[in-house]
């Protein structure tokens, strides 16, 4: 370990020299308030910023043990601190200090969701922030004095204002952690209540816009209020400010639930909240007490995606030219075949709740009405529509469905619960629908000639995964939340609606690489592969995902993805090959 004076001296010495001289500052430096670890020094001002860690001994930071005494609280506290650091950075970092990424200070902090991240780690002995810094330069000449300002003014300010318990807003921190713990406690109650999701009374579901996930505000906003027939009570471990330890809200029962209503009355807004709330949300989001079971998967049509050896015969069979669908492959799947494959793949890895919206579904996959059945007979129609399978999927496999449907009443007979959204207010209209069905019986006939087939196990072939590109053995880049570069290939995840953060996307890429190195053996099924990864997540930090990670080093910016999105990425990598096990 070196003294901070050594770092300052080195920065003064290399001022004005070529950028590669920055390599001299790598190492460990002792400051009065913290220890600085410079783990990776960028080779160019336009390259990815340098990786550093700021560590404060527990005797100095003094974060009380009871605020992170279990895994839920620990994840929430680490998430909160990362946000606190981001806020400090935004307040202190001034204009850019030179060329390229010079002067950038960045930490991977969350948005509306609370996720398990590598950005901050708290332990028995210390608390540590993993951040990135753009070392300043003019062209490719070192700006030493500006670097001194970063290391000796800006970073210590971050440490003192975000890594010391006495200097943060303790009440807000405790409320943040308690809120996350309450959400997880409610999630644990869903099975006992026989519900798939819970939406608390008073929740604010609408967002500011389609590209902004912040809650809508103003007098026109309608707080959520459950119909009395669907209202349930849940208990929370951390009381609200009024001392209450329970709350009421709408419980969506297990089974088949339709969300109906006119356009712009809140159907898709409700479903969007349900699909995003497989993760805990921050206080003030409006959806912090919307809770969905963790194994819910959003299903949609995905025209153009690649499908590899998926048995979709339960939905599509008897194709022209006798094309088999028990091991269906396509480089450019249609809307209906892609949606069928998406359902089978979700069930294959353990989904127990399917979420669908007619607006993002293939129309011919969802239903064929009586008139179309008269015109095109079943023997000439390979598609068995979802309306004729949804009941069977629940009755035989225990998989529930929540479906937004505004254009067809043919799902009424299959549904257990029907919620009508009107002016963003839910109404239980099950009794009304019974009368409508009696008065206007459907003329269509069920089209399910064969029993629903259990998904066939598929084992990914290790040799079909290649993360190399050119001279680089590992080339995994995150272009955006929904675009992952894996070797020479891109993985398009734009239709994975429950992927919420670019750092999740990065973790998926490296999880796939880890699986190819440590898990895949051409016999392990894709379900077993993603469950093994999830087991590792539960038993370890996410640090192991970095193939270059060494103990006591910055592992990169990862946040935890679900196994369903990892499987989705494996299925969408165009080089992936499977061995199908009948």
Please report, rounded to a whole number, the percentage of residues in the chain having pLDDT higher than 70: 99
- Asked if 288 and 365 sit in the same domain, the reply is yes
296 domain residue, yes or no: yes
Going by C-alpha positions, the residue among 110, 39, 123 that lies closest to residue 76 is: 110
Q: Distance between CA atoms of 434 and 338, rounded to whole angstroms?
A: 33
Confidence band, pLDDT 50/70/90 cuts, at residue 380: confident
**pLDDT tens-place string over residues 173-186:** 999 999 999 999 99
Grouping H, G, I as helix, E, B as strand and the rest as coil, residue 489 is strand
- Asked if 505 and 535 sit in the same domain, the reply is yes
pLDDT at 539 over 90: yes
Q: Distance between CA atoms of 248 and 270, rounded to whole angstroms?
A: 17
Range of the domain at 517: 457-581
Last residue of a domain, one of 455, 479, 507: 455
175 domain residue, yes or no: no
Q: Residue 309: enclosing H or E segment and its boundaries?
A: strand 307-310
- Asked if 408 and 296 sit in the same domain, the reply is yes
Number of domains into which the chain is organized: 3
Angle at 211 between CA 95 and CA 486, to 5 degrees: 80
Residue 7 structure tokens: 């770092």
Where does residue 350 fall: left (phi above 0), alpha (psi -120 to 50 degrees), or beta otherwise?
Answer: left
- Asked if 461 and 417 sit in the same domain, the reply is no
212 domain residue, yes or no: yes
Alpha helices, DSSP H only, in 223-278?
267-276
pLDDT at 3 over 70: yes
Q: pTM of this prediction?
A: 0.95
Last residue of a domain, one of 399, 433, 455: 455
Angle at 132 between CA 130 and CA 134, to 5 degrees: 160
**pLDDT of the residue at 1:** 80
In the numeric block, the tokens 């990135």 are attached to 132
- Asked if 89 and 32 sit in the same domain, the reply is yes
**pLDDT of the residue at 422:** 95
pLDDT at 499 over 90: yes
- Asked if 394 and 473 sit in the same domain, the reply is no
**pLDDT of the residue at 496:** 96
pLDDT at 551 over 70: no
25 domain residue, yes or no: yes
29 domain residue, yes or no: yes
Name 192's Cβ contacts closer than 8 Å, sequence gap at least 6. none
124 domain residue, yes or no: yes
- Asked if 446 and 552 sit in the same domain, the reply is no
Q: Residue 354: enclosing H or E segment and its boundaries?
A: strand 353-357
**pLDDT of the residue at 241:** 86
- Asked if 69 and 210 sit in the same domain, the reply is no
- Asked if 403 and 451 sit in the same domain, the reply is yes
Q: Distance between CA atoms of 580 and 415, rounded to whole angstroms?
A: 34
Average pLDDT over residues 234-255: 95
Q: Residue 353: enclosing H or E segment and its boundaries?
A: strand 353-357
Residue 278 structure tokens: 């497989």
- Asked if 480 and 538 sit in the same domain, the reply is yes
Average pLDDT over residues 240-256: 95
Please report, rounded to a whole number, the percentage of residues in the chain having pLDDT higher than 90: 84
- Asked if 394 and 346 sit in the same domain, the reply is yes
**pLDDT tens-place string over residues 421-475:** 999 999 999 999 999 988 988 888 888 778 998 899 999 999 999 999 988 899 9
Average pLDDT over residues 263-282: 96
Residue 181 structure tokens: 């713990």
Q: What is the CATH number of the domain that holds 434?
A: 3.40.50
177 domain residue, yes or no: no
Average per-residue pLDDT for the chain: 94
Q: Distance between CA atoms of 134 and 99, rounded to whole angstroms?
A: 10
Last residue of a domain, one of 455, 475, 497: 455
**β-strands 425-428, 457-460 pairing:** unpaired
- Asked if 374 and 469 sit in the same domain, the reply is no
Q: Are 11 and 4 contacting, i.e. CB atoms less than 8 angstroms apart?
A: no
174 domain residue, yes or no: no
- Altogether, the residues listed in the chain come to a count of 582
């Amino acid at each position: 370990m070196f003294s901070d004076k050594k770092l300052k001296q080195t920065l003064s010495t290399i001022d004005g020299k070529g950028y590669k001289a920055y390599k001299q500052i790598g190492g460990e430096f002792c400051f009065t308030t913290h220890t600085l670890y410079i783990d990776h020094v960028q080779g160019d001002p336009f390259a990815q910023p340098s990786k550093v860690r700021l560590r404060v001994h527990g005797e100095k930071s003094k974060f009380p043990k009871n605020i992170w005494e279990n895994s839920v609280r620990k994840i929430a506290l680490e998430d909160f601190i990362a946000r606190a650091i981001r806020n400090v950075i935004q307040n202190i970092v001034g204009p850019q200090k030179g060329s390229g990424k010079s002067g950038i200070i960045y930490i991977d902090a969350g948005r509306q969701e609370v996720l398990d991240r590598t950005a901050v780690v708290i332990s028995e002995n210390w608390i540590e922030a993993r951040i990135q810094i753009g070392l300043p330069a003019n062209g490719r000449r070192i700006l030493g004095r500006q670097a001194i300002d970063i290391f000796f003014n800006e970073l210590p300010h971050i440490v003192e204002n975000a890594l010391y318990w006495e200097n943060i807003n303790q009440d807000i921190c405790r409320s943040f952690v308690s809120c996350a713990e309450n959400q997880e406690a409610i999630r644990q109650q869903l099975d006992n209540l026989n519900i798939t999701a819970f939406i608390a009374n008073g929740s604010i579901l609408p967002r500011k816009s389609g590209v902004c996930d912040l809650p809508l505000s103003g007098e026109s906003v309608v707080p959520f209020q459950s119909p009395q027939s669907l209202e349930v009570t849940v208990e929370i471990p951390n009381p609200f400010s009024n001392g209450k330890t329970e709350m009421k809200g709408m419980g969506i029962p297990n089974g088949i639930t339709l969300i109906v209503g006119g356009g712009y009355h809140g159907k898709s807004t409700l479903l969007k909240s349900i699909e995003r709330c497989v993760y805990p949300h921050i206080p003030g989001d409006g959806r912090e007490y919307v809770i969905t079971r963790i194994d819910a998967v959003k299903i949609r049509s995905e025209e153009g995606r690649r499908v590899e050896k998926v048995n979709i015969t339960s939905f599509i069979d008897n194709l022209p030219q006798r094309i088999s669908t028990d091991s269906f492959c396509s480089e450019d799947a249609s809307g209906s075949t892609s949606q069928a494959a998406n359902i089978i793949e979700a069930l294959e890895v353990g989904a127990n709740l399917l979420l669908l919206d007619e607006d993002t579904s293939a129309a011919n996959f969802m239903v064929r009405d009586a008139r179309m059945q008269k015109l095109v007979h079943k023997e000439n129609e390979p598609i068995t529509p979802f309306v004729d399978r949804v009941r069977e999927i629940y009755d035989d496999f225990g998989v529930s469905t929540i479906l937004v449907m505004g254009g067809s009443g043919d799902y009424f007979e299959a549904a257990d619960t029907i919620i009508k959204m009107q002016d963003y207010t839910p109404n239980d209209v099950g009794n009304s629908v019974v009368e409508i069905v009696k008065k206007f019986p459907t003329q269509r006939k069920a089209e399910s000639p064969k029993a629903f087939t259990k998904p066939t196990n598929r084992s990914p072939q290790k040799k079909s995964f290649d993360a190399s590109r050119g001279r680089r053995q590992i080339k995994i880049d995150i272009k955006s939340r929904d675009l992952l570069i894996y070797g020479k290939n891109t993985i398009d995840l734009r239709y994975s609606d429950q992927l919420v953060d670019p750092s999740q996307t990065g973790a998926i890429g490296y999880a796939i690489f880890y699986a190819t190195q440590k898990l895949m053996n051409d016999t392990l099924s894709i379900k077993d592969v993603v469950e093994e990864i999830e087991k590792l997540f539960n038993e370890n930090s996410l640090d192991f995902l970095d193939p270059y990670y060494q103990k006591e080093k910055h592992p990169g910016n990862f946040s935890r993805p679900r196994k369903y999105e990892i499987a989705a990425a494996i299925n969408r990598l165009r080089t992936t090959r499977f061995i199908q096990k009948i």
